[in-house]
Amino acid sequence: MLPIDADTFEELVSQALDGVPPELMDLMQNVVVLIADEPPAGEEQDLLGLYEGIPLTARDGNYSGVLPDHITIFRGPTLRCARDWDEAVREVRITVVHEIAHHFGIDDDRLHELGYG
């Protein structure tokens, strides 16, 4: 596993979020981005990120008063799959974009087609 501490990893996630075009960030509604060391029990242990919530495309007029959606980026699996610093930066960026895309209702098949799988 690459020796990247939690604070440095958080900065990588922050930089990846800063790279998302502002017009997309402005459209994100009721969502928080979190960082965890490992995926929760019951999830694939090599999972790099996870979106939990109701995508924007599935929200209707009854959507109100709900807790925020969660995008979680997992440090351990990301650092285990990356061979070097540049690959870690790339994996974080891809994972952040991938999970944001789920918030916008884009599924895994389409993300793989776009190179964000």
The per-residue pLDDT for range 32-61, each reduced to its tens digit, is 999 999 999 999 999 999 999 999 999 999
Q: For the chain, what percent of residues have pLDDT higher than 70? A: 100
Contact 96, 73 (CB under 8 A): yes
Where residue 115 falls (left for φ over 0; alpha for ψ -120 to 50; beta otherwise) is left
Where residue 36 falls (left for φ over 0; alpha for ψ -120 to 50; beta otherwise) is beta
Give residue for tokens 């060391």.
Answer: 37
Say whether domain 6-113 belongs to CATH 3.30.310.80.
Answer: no
Confidence of residue 112 (pLDDT cuts 50, 70, 90): confident
Confidence of residue 103 (pLDDT cuts 50, 70, 90): very high
Residue-averaged pLDDT of the chain? 95
pTM of the model: 0.94
Give the separation between CA 41 and CA 57, rounded to whole angstroms: 28
Kindly give the pairing relationship between strand 49-52 and strand 69-74. Answer: antiparallel
Give residue for tokens 């540049």.
Answer: 86
Domain ranges of the chain: 6-113
